[in-house]
């Protein structure tokens, strides 16, 4: 699979006085056996050093995953992979958090100044392995239709999600194993682009993933990708073979609404409405 990644500063952050730095961070890469990895961390808008924390988290987690590649490989065909993955992925997130806390302790800062979410998706030949603390989005599509990969925490209330820096992070942590040998595309995103990448007309899902924390709450949307957006995007990305050009096309689309296809450029105004002025990070793997 090919990929594209873009992470852009929200227009509200650019216009603020003083200017607020981009608080999202994202990274994607390939492991041995052509396993695809995406990581996104979204810094809290109310935390003044969350941009530092989000960058630390994605960099640290990439190092851990690269080091522990063989452990992922052994999960590829295990019958109880969901149990083993839950243990392994939580240990990775703990290592990231411990490293961040240690770094903050040495600097003498307050932990709440570094609040950020963390989202990980790994696609092997047979499965998706994913986990998250906080919000963000991830899903994909295959011949049988669109599917969700992770369930974000508290998307229905602005500013109410949880963070890897919180003492109770491990209670909010969720892991997922999804069988999937073939897929047309899959994505990860921060919450910034969710207004146009998610199919908001799909039936809401009572999946009870967080029922232990929010008993009786049925506010989960379908978390399914809006496939027309992704199909159009992928058509545009497949016109260019250079990785940098793909990333530029994705960046210009989510930052300025500029869509390029067949040598023509159009502005998709629905992507740059005032209510979408948050930071935006989007990673797409596609055929």
pLDDT in tens, 156-179: 565 678 999 999 999 999 999 999
CA 91 to chain centre: 19
CA 201 to chain centre: 21
Give pLDDT, residue 23.
Answer: 96
Give pLDDT, residue 216.
Answer: 67
Sign of the dihedral through C-alpha 190, 65, 251, 100: positive
Give pLDDT, residue 246.
Answer: 98
Dihedral over alpha carbons 182, 80, 155, 172 (to 10 degrees)? -150
**Calpha distance 220→214 (Å, rounded):** 11
Give pLDDT, residue 207.
Answer: 67
- pLDDT grade for 194, boundaries at 50, 70 and 90: very high
Give pLDDT, residue 213.
Answer: 85
The whole model's pTM is what? 0.95
Kindly state the tokens that stand for 132.
Answer: 């998250």
Q: Domain spans of the chain?
A: 2-286
Give pLDDT, residue 32.
Answer: 85
pLDDT at 118 exceeding the cut of 80: yes
- pLDDT grade for 206, boundaries at 50, 70 and 90: low
Residue 256 three-state SS: helix
- Of the ranges 133-142, 195-204, 215-224, which one carries the lowest mean pLDDT score? 215-224
- Per the CB < 8 A criterion, the answer to whether 84 and 72 are in contact is no
Sign of the dihedral through C-alpha 118, 123, 128, 129: negative
- Read off the pLDDT of each residue in 13-31 and give the average, rounded to a whole number: 91
Give pLDDT, residue 15.
Answer: 80
Q: What is the mean pLDDT of the chain?
A: 92
**Calpha distance 20→58 (Å, rounded):** 20
- Per the CB < 8 A criterion, the answer to whether 253 and 259 are in contact is yes
Following DSSP, what letter does each residue of 48-101 receive, concatenated? TTHHHHHHHHHHHHHHHHHHTHHHHHHHTT-TTHHHHHHHHHHHHHHHHHHHHH
What sections of the chain are H helices per DSSP? 11-15, 50-67, 69-75, 81-107, 169-172, 194-197, 227-237, 243-256
Which class is domain 2-286? alpha beta
């Amino acid at each position: 699979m090919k990929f594209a990644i873009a992470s852009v500063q929200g227009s509200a952050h650019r216009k603020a006085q003083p200017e607020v730095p981009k608080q999202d961070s994202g990274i994607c890469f390939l492991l041995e056996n052509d396993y695809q990895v995406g990581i996104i961390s979204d810094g809290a808008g109310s935390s003044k050093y969350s941009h530092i924390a989000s960058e630390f988290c994605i960099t640290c987690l990439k190092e851990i995953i690269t080091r522990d590649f063989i452990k992922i490989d052994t999960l590829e065909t295990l019958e109880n992979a969901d149990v083993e993955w839950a243990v392994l992925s939580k240990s990775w997130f703990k290592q990231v958090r411990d490293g961040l806390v240690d770094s903050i302790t040495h600097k003498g800062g307050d932990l709440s100044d570094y609040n950020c979410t963390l989202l990980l998706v790994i696609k092997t030949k047979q499965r998706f392995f994913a986990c998250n603390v906080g919000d963000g989005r991830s899903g994909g599509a295959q011949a049988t239709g669109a599917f969700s990969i992770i369930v974000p925490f508290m998307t229905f209330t602005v500013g109410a999600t949880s963070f890897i820096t919180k003492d109770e992070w491990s209670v909010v942590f969720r892991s997922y194993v999804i069988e999937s040998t073939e897929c047309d595309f899959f994505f990860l995103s921060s919450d910034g682009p969710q207004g146009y990448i998610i199919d908001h007309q799909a039936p809401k899902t009572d999946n009870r993933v967080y029922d232990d924390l929010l008993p009786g709450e049925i506010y989960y949307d379908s978390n399914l990708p809006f496939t027309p957006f992704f199909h159009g995007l992928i058509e545009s990305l497949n016109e260019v073979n250079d990785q940098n050009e793909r990333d530029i096309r994705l960046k210009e689309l989510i930052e300025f609404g500029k869509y390029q296809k067949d040598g023509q450029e159009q502005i998709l105004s629905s992507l740059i409405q005032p209510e979408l002025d948050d930071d935006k990070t989007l990673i797409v793997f596609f055929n």
